[in-house]
Structure 1
């Protein structure tokens, strides 16, 4: 009998998680990003764009000059899009559709694939 009560340290890099678990974890992380980064950024942009005509013009010039800020906005929308896609996947699974291990794996792969394709298309359309 093991009477050792020391804490066990698990190396998370050595654990092979299934694709559906990775989708679930990244859905939670993207939700935190959306709440703490995207939401304040978009509220600030809405505030400055509706404050006055001059502030709208200043904001549009600022976004044209600084590609980094535009990239951050596009990245935030892409992460929001990922959060929406994986959220729809979770809602479908909450309705007891595709709960088997194989269906869960395929829906996770489909969600990631759809997100990558649409994100690449958006970046291509904006930055080309």
Structure 2
């Protein structure tokens, strides 16, 4: 459940980095060289930055133009341009409180605690 207001998320979230490749991830052997260090299928990298979306949600977004090589019907290789766009939305962030709502909730909780304390004291503070 998202609890951070969008402004706090954008202030504290770090960018995400995505490697785009034809090479599948390694099986997880500790002795193997990471596929990102010498990947023959590497197409590019993409950085996703913290953002607020028009829907009211927040998360990360980024886009980049990549060149992908394909084999056509005659067997020759052909390069195509691809626009890669990624939105990574924090689940339930659309329902996250705004800064004002979060401050109001703190104030309301503080007042409720004070009222409860006064009730437990039997209203002695009011009598003084």
Which structure exhibits the higher relative contact order, with contacts defined as CA atoms closer than 8 Å and separated by 6 or more residues?
1
Say which structure is richer in strand.
Answer: 2
- Report if TM-score (shorter chain) is over 0.5: no
TM-score by length of 2: 0.25
**Higher Cα Rg, which structure:** 2
TM-score by length of 1: 0.25
